[in-house]
Amino acid sequence: MSVRPAATHINLAVSAQPTRKGSVRITDVVKVYGAAGAGVLAVDHCTFDVPPGEITVVVGPSGCGKTTLLNAIAGFHSISSGSIHLDDELLCGPQKLKARPGPDRIVVFQNGALFPWKTNIENVTFGPIMQGLLSRAEAYEKARDMMADAGLRGIEHNYPGEISSGVRRRVEIVRALMNGPKILLLDEPYRALDSLTKSVMHEALLEIFYKSRVTIFFITHDLEEAIFLGHRVVIMTTRPCRPKKILDIDIPHPRDYSVLTAKRFREFMDETAAAVHEEAIKAFAAGEKER
Amino acid sequence: MAKSFALKALGFVSGDDFWRGIASIAVFLIFWEVGSRSQALFGFAFPWVSQIPPPSSVLQELIVLIQDPSFWMSALLSTLRVFEGFLAAMVIGIPLGLAMAVSRTFYGITFPVFEVLRPIPPLAWVPASIIFWPTQELSIAFVTFLGAFFTIVINVIGGAQAIDVRYFQAARSMGSSTWDIFRRIILPATLPSIVVGATVGVGITWAVVVAAEMISGGGSAGSVGGSGGGLGFFIWNSYVGGSYTQIVAGMISIGIAGYVSSAVLRKIGKWLTPWLLEN
């Protein structure tokens, strides 16, 4: 075994010093699906910041266009106008409507996108090997450390189909972190999980966050989840999607599940529930009309 | 442990399943035996079944046949043709299906032609391929190839087109090149469909080879040695010679050969796709 200080003592921290990088600035973003003029307006002049090293949660009714925003940051879809910056670097803007996907912005998908034909550790080592950052042996060593650190010891050589969906989600987050991303984009990752598993997953996510301090952009329609996890909560209007209310949640981190019964938590819930409910009713009415 | 493994290798999930299988085959054989002896047993002939020789005579015939080298020659010849046609169908069909699934342009050009040719039964190709190919052997192999080819291509296209877009997005984000995506995403994700296409295709290949041998008179080997022209020609020859037990014995040997081919492919398929959970 060669002595490689960088590869021997690796924990979930992306680098030795907590990086204060990964700020995203979304400016005046508009997204129209379909032909201009006749198309559907999904995102309407959306402007807000995702502060670096924090968790920003976007809450809105299903189908409101929040995933469109996430896809624009990830570089999967183009925007129609406006701009998105990552650490003051232009991702997409007037000259270049579609960002290039890259390892600095990794998505954890709604229903999970671990490759079912690869074992968990093959999944986790996929990014660094693809990018040629680490040799196979180095990648495996780092992956084993990170998986152990995230409580995933013993399932390295299982296939994703052999583990529970909650554990799969955690493997996928570790796979994302292996790329050393500036920002993690989580698209309703716990939507399909039951509420008990969800609560375990929330604490596990926070634990990973406290260790890595990676910026997190989290999309959900669950207000409680949003306030529990987020430093910042952006409540979206229903389609077209635009920030309706931006709150900075001043409940101190690290948080655990006792927060849910705290007075301050309830105050935030009271303050926002009405706004979210209003949008949910609008979204429901719009859905009825479409039918 | 060893016993349950052996059962699984034969395609049974549990011991109960195994005994159900045995019982089902036994009942089938009893009905057949009684049916074909109905004239002697009940004084009137059951329709259809009474025309068929009983399984006991077929078994005797099979015992005679497996000691006859020319029968094995027939079986070997058919197996080789199946193997040739099937292999050619895999070698040409898999890359073609992948190319059609990957490239919209290529798909647009080739799919209409493919879809016009696909519904033509392989046997309708027999006269044309006899004219087209220089030897009987090649025309039989070609028709056999067609039997598996379309099934394999259609499965590969279907499998590759059904790949979840999130896999591509994830792979791109993690720095995969186009070649990486082909090799590490498209290929493994399509593998289960390739296995299905191959397993179904090999069955069709057996159906086609036998019919092609009957029509074309057993190929070059058949025209020389009589019963050396493959199992299809063997059955046809038995029909001409009036040996009904041989016909049924030949049919059963084809059934067994097809079953073994599919079982072998399923086995290889399982080995190639270990992530698919067995039930």
- Interface confidence, given as ipTM, is 0.85
Q: Which of A140-149, A225-234, B188-197, B225-234 has the lowest mean pLDDT?
A: B225-234
With CA atoms as reference, the chain A residue closest to B187 would be A117
Q: Is it the case that residue A23 has pLDDT exceeding 80?
A: yes
The predicted structure's pLDDT at residue A18: 46
Q: Is it the case that residue A250 has pLDDT exceeding 60?
A: yes
The predicted structure's pLDDT at residue B220: 47
Q: Is it the case that residue A280 has pLDDT exceeding 50?
A: yes
Q: Is it the case that residue A40 has pLDDT exceeding 50?
A: yes
Tokens linked to B4: 């349950």
Strand A81-86 relative to strand A89-92, pairing: antiparallel
If you average pLDDT over residues B122-146, what whole number do you get?
88
Question: Please, what are the domains in chain B?
Answer: 1-52 (no CATH), 53-272 (1.10.3720.10)
b/e per residue B165-193 (b: at least 16 CB within 10 A) = ebbbbbbbbbbbeeebbeebbbebbbbbb
CB contact under 8 A, B274 and A159: yes
Res. B278 pLDDT band, cuts 50 70 90: low
The predicted structure's pLDDT at residue B8: 61
Write out pLDDT tens, residues B52-79. Answer: 888 999 999 999 988 888 888 888 989 9
Contact status of A109 with chain B (Cβ, < 8 Å): yes
DSSP A215-258: EEEEEES-HHHHHHH-SEEEEEPSSSB-EEEEEE--SPSS--GG
Res. B223 pLDDT band, cuts 50 70 90: very low
If you average pLDDT over residues A28-52, what whole number do you get?
84
- Compare CB distances from B175 to A117, A127, A162 and report the shortest one's residue: A127
DSSP B81-109: HHHHHHHHHHHHHHHHHHHHHH-HHHHHH
Q: Which of A33-42, B53-62, B154-163 has the lowest mean pLDDT?
A: A33-42
For chain A, the average pLDDT equals: 85
Write out pLDDT tens, residues B91-121. Answer: 999 999 999 999 999 999 999 999 999 999 9
- Residue A205: left (phi > 0), alpha (psi -120 to 50), or beta? alpha
Which amino acid, A130? M
The answer to whether B90 and B268 are in contact (CB under 8 A) is no
Contact status of A76 with chain B (Cβ, < 8 Å): yes
The predicted structure's pLDDT at residue A17: 45
Res. A114 pLDDT band, cuts 50 70 90: very high
The predicted structure's pLDDT at residue A242: 87
Chain B interface residues (partner A, CB cutoff 8 A):
164, 166-167, 169-176, 180, 184-185, 188-189, 191, 273-277
% chain A with pLDDT above 90:
40
CB contact under 8 A, B188 and A115: yes
The predicted structure's pLDDT at residue A15: 45
Q: Is it the case that residue B172 has pLDDT exceeding 80?
A: yes
If you average pLDDT over residues A189-208, what whole number do you get?
85
Write out pLDDT tens, residues A41-88. Answer: 888 889 999 999 999 999 988 777 888 899 999 999 999 999 999 998
Residue at token pair 């590869």: A7
Which tops the pLDDT comparison, A237 or B194? Answer: B194
The predicted structure's pLDDT at residue A7: 37
The residues, any chain, with a CB within 8 Å of residue A153's CB and separated by 6 or more, are A147
